[in-house]
Structure 1
Amino acid sequence: MKRSAKFVTSVMLAATLLVPAMGVSANGDFSTQNTNEKFRVLVDSANQKELKNAKERYGVHWDFQAEGFTTNMNAKQFEALQKNKNLTVEKVPEFSIEETSSKPEAAYAAMAASQSTPWGIKAIYNDSALTKTSGGAGVNIAVLDTGVNKTHADLVNNVEQCKDFTIGTSIVNGSCVDRQGHGTHVAGTALADGGSGSGVYGVAPAADLWAYKVLGDDGSGYSDDIANAIRHAADQATSLNTKVVINMSLGSSAESSLITNAVNYAYGKGVLIIAAAGNSGPYQGSIGYPGALQNAVAVAALENVIQNGTYRVADFSSRGYSSTDGDYVIQKGDVEVSAPGAAIYSTWYTGGYSTISGTSMASPHIAGLAAKVWAANPTVSHTTIRNDLQNRAYNYDILSGSGAGYGDDYASGFGFARLR
């Protein structure tokens, strides 16, 4: 199963879905909590004087203007603010990486034999003899994750931006250190350039990498940091007049209004958002956020197993709803497309390589594909590229795995989006 997300929202979910965060019990009781331990909250008010006073008293982590501001406080401060009728206050949910294990299935200090183009890369290119990839020039892939090893031999030529959104009240430029590995692995699948022919290749090796650190070294992070990074990527797309694909291989079963609004903001500015479907399968209705949002492309994970003439959807991959099967319409909580996500070989934060599994690994295959297709069709919009991904998936129906079947199904969505 995936690493558990710590849900710290003001809306109380069923206890079976909650993993208590920071000593807070499932019912919101702070009696067993260290009252001095701080956590993240969102504060808002229609009363601008009250809002200003709150900012001055508690400090501002991120200011979301009309949505309020986030800050850190302890349990007693939180309870006191809840009694202030002029303010609304809610805890900010945490999101976590979407891999099946916190440790790699295998790790390599140097390039493993016959892995310059891993099975997932060959599969998405639909070429079992592939030895090198190409494309993606002029398109930026923003990897919102645990950071990236920007000096990795297979990534160093791609890094255009490296920024940390987790430190404090401002974006730290030039810092995106990855001490967990997840972000470096995801970036490699999307755009690793082979390290002058001696390393691993991603889907779109000519694309530029925007490495945005939004998760901590334990693989989890607050939704306000993620939302701020989404908005920043969108603003950069506008100010630099460039094409941007955002990859988010992270998730939570709890929706965050900050992330939802940020995704809608970015999509409205022409940014294509790709996200992991989640690792809570094979149960229906288990797509995590932000993948569940209509303005994000939710990607399911495929295994390197052929059944019924197609690849198989992994059991761990989250599912949508069978009630929406066959409509070829993306609704909230739907899988959109599928891609390789089991036993994926890619770059690692140590400078070496590793193999890990999860919908986290499927998502960057599609982000890379989107960048490659967009680079070849630079005059079209992000919605045209999204439609193109759907059409490609439609041509490669997935018929294996729980919930998979002919047409638009709740396990694989439209199907496997491939290059050809």
Structure 2
Amino acid sequence: MKKPLKVLAAIALTASMLGPAGSVFAKDDFRDFKEDQMKQRGETFRVLITATSDQELQQLQQSYELRNEFDGHSYTTDVTAKEFEALQNLPHITVEKVDVLSIQIDPSSLKVNDEMDAAAASQSVPWGIKAIYNDNNLTYTTGGSNVRIAVLDTGVNVNHSDLYYNAEQCKDFTQSASLVNNTCTDRNGHGTHVAGTALGEGGDDRRGVYGVAPNAKLWAYKVLNDSGSGYEDDIANAIRHAADQAYSQRVNVVINMSLGSNGESSLITNAVNYAYDRGVLIVAAAGNDGFSPGSIDYPAALPSAIAVANLENRLENGTFRVANSSSRGHSRTAGDYVIQTGDVELSAPGTSIFSTWYNGGYATISGTSMATPHVAGLAAKIWAENPSFTNVQLRSNLQNRAKSYDILGGYHAGRGDDIASGFGFARVR
């Protein structure tokens, strides 16, 4: 499901609402103005406000409540259309609308199993897990100890029998308080499904779903609402928080973002670069925009994130096939084995993926959302085996593994670094 809004460029504001000597409103004038606007308040949307001084920012925050603060002189808040228009008339301030990102699935592929029935039990180790382990007879998985996988998504049912023992953090970035600890309720299912693929541990009876790295710890960060969409500032806030947690706790962290938008967000770009510079590995869904070149979504399109394409469970030209719906990279950068903006990097199973669901049961879904946690789990497994690796070394290891399994199936797939599958399919062995 995908409902992206294009990122709007920052707008320079005019000075038609100046006070004496061209200053901004006095505090009391601002309050009166705000109260008048509140009478007409209707539907709100998120904006990023940037001021030139701390004094201006403090004045603005008295009337336009702080949500997330960035880089000293910028913060986000919710406004009406009339309030947005008024802000455009204030001097020394820029304001831009904040983009919305959405989950990356094919909604028509959804099939829910309320419990692990006989038909579902055969998928305790789903096909994608068997494929990434390169073992069709696999009955359980191992690995990921001491590594954290931060799932930035619709939340996670951390009480699910297959995830309960993995859960270490549960946080909500979508509420009015901007960050609420010990709650990450998933009423959509997407985040719980992603978490199961990355690190499901089979449950007490070992008949549940196994993920790629069942010994990894889960940081469940709710950044999307119950319909699967979320504001870029909340997502950026969560990315930075995960990076700061990784740094302060001195632990290795993989961030999984099975979400995206067609347009680039400066807030998310800065946050991803910040996290990468702090040693975190970022894995993101390439998008489901079809097989036209140059269709990779953000943040996957960023060079500091690993863009993951979707593989189907069928062979073509002797390898798995990239799904038609999976977004493709740029033709001009194909074959160079260098990650640039808009390149797909790796591919992984993403079609008809069976995993945990928010109601305590299980579900099957398709999309690059489902491919991404396969790579996040593999990264955690490799990092656990090589704890001294930097995130850059870990990424190089994943790329080398992918080169050994070149994908030749699907539109634009071919020998070497192609725009459909990137370097190829990285596997355990």
Deviation at 1:283, TM superposition (A): 1.1
Q: Distance in 1 between matches of 2:322 and 2:108?
A: 21
From the superposition, tell whether residues 399 and 102 of structure 1 become closer, same or farther in structure 2 (CA, over 3 Å): closer
Partner in structure 2 of residue 292 of structure 1? 301
Partner in structure 1 of residue 155 of structure 2? 147
Q: 2:178 touches 2:234 (CA, 8 Å); kept in 1?
A: no
Q: 2:10 touches 2:94 (CA, 8 Å); kept in 1?
A: no
- Letter of the 1:91 partner, please give it: K
Q: 2:121 touches 2:208 (CA, 8 Å); kept in 1?
A: no
Q: Distance in 2 between matches of 1:277 and 1:178?
A: 23
Q: 1:3 touches 1:102 (CA, 8 Å); kept in 2?
A: no
Deviation at 1:109, TM superposition (A): 2.3
1:280-309 superposed Cα distances (whole Å, 9 cap, x missing partner): 011111100100000000000000010110
Deviation at 1:102, TM superposition (A): 6.9
Q: Distance in 2 between matches of 1:109 and 1:75?
A: 46
Counterparts of residues 113-192 of structure 1 (less than 5 Å):
113-192=121-200
Q: Distance in 2 between matches of 1:107 and 1:314?
A: 24
Q: Distance in 2 between matches of 1:65 and 1:185?
A: 34
SS, match of residue 104 in structure 1: strand
Q: Distance in 2 between matches of 1:103 and 1:62?
A: 35
SS, match of residue 232 in structure 1: helix
Deviation at 1:200, TM superposition (A): 0.7
Is 1:210 the counterpart of 2:219? The answer is yes
Deviation at 1:104, TM superposition (A): 1.6
Deviation at 1:107, TM superposition (A): 3.1
Partner in structure 2 of residue 26 of structure 1? none
Instruction: State, as a whole percentage, how many aligned pairs show the same letter.
Output: 62
Partner in structure 2 of residue 3 of structure 1? 2
Partner in structure 1 of residue 292 of structure 2? 283
Unaligned runs of 5+ in 1: 13-33
Deviation at 1:380, TM superposition (A): 1.2
1:196-248 superposed Cα distances (whole Å, 9 cap, x missing partner): 31101000000000000000001000000000000000000011110000000
Q: Distance in 2 between matches of 1:215 and 1:146?
A: 5
Q: 1:3 touches 1:101 (CA, 8 Å); kept in 2?
A: no
Q: Distance in 2 between matches of 1:67 and 1:264?
A: 19
Counterparts of residues 34-53 of structure 1 (less than 5 Å):
36-53=42-59
Q: 1:62 touches 1:169 (CA, 8 Å); kept in 2?
A: no
Q: Distance in 1 between matches of 2:423 and 2:198?
A: 21
Partner in structure 2 of residue 335 of structure 1? 344
Is 1:71 the counterpart of 2:71? The answer is no
Q: Distance in 2 between matches of 1:158 and 1:128?
A: 25
In our comparison, the structure showing a higher alpha carbon Rg is: 2
- Over aligned residues, Cα RMSD in angstroms? 1.4
Q: Distance in 2 between matches of 1:288 and 1:416?
A: 20
1:298-330 superposed Cα distances (whole Å, 9 cap, x missing partner): 000000010110000000000001111110000
SS, match of residue 101 in structure 1: strand
Q: Distance in 2 between matches of 1:118 and 1:69?
A: 43
- Letter of the 1:190 partner, please give it: A
From the superposition, tell whether residues 35 and 284 of structure 1 become closer, same or farther in structure 2 (CA, over 3 Å): farther
Is 1:201 the counterpart of 2:210? The answer is yes
Is 1:383 the counterpart of 2:375? The answer is no
- Letter of the 2:167 partner, please give it: V
- Letter of the 1:86 partner, please give it: H
- Letter of the 1:137 partner, please give it: S
Is 1:107 the counterpart of 2:113? The answer is yes
**Equivalent of residue 91 in structure 2, options 68, 85, 96:** 85
TM-score of the superposed pair, with normalisation by structure 1: 0.93
TM-score of the superposed pair, with normalisation by structure 2: 0.91
- Letter of the 2:122 partner, please give it: S
Unaligned runs of 5+ in 2: 12-39
* Count of residue correspondences: 398
Deviation at 1:106, TM superposition (A): 4.1
Q: Does 311-320 or 43-52 show the bigger shift? A: 43-52
- Letter of the 2:357 partner, please give it: W
Partner in structure 2 of residue 413 of structure 1? 422
1:368-407 superposed Cα distances (whole Å, 9 cap, x missing partner): 0000000001111111110000000000000010010000
Is 1:370 the counterpart of 2:345? The answer is no
Q: Distance in 2 between matches of 1:381 and 1:314?
A: 32
Counterparts of residues 321-360 of structure 1 (less than 5 Å):
321-360=330-369
Partner in structure 2 of residue 20 of structure 1? none
Is 1:250 the counterpart of 2:262? The answer is no
From the superposition, tell whether residues 141 and 101 of structure 1 become closer, same or farther in structure 2 (CA, over 3 Å): same
Q: Distance in 1 between matches of 2:108 and 2:410?
A: 24
Q: Distance in 2 between matches of 1:135 and 1:366?
A: 14
Q: Distance in 2 between matches of 1:117 and 1:214?
A: 28
Is 1:55 the counterpart of 2:61? The answer is yes
Q: 1:60 touches 1:169 (CA, 8 Å); kept in 2?
A: no
Q: Distance in 1 between matches of 2:265 and 2:258?
A: 16
- Letter of the 1:3 partner, please give it: K
SS, match of residue 421 in structure 2: coil
Partner in structure 2 of residue 232 of structure 1? 241
From the superposition, tell whether residues 248 and 293 of structure 1 become closer, same or farther in structure 2 (CA, over 3 Å): same
Deviation at 1:49, TM superposition (A): 2.2
1:79-135 superposed Cα distances (whole Å, 9 cap, x missing partner): 111122310000000000001117723434225131111000000000011010000
Partner in structure 2 of residue 305 of structure 1? 314
Q: Distance in 1 between matches of 2:224 and 2:51?
A: 28
- Letter of the 2:184 partner, please give it: C
Partner in structure 2 of residue 271 of structure 1? 280
- Letter of the 2:55 partner, please give it: K
Partner in structure 2 of residue 28 of structure 1? none
- Letter of the 2:403 partner, please give it: Y
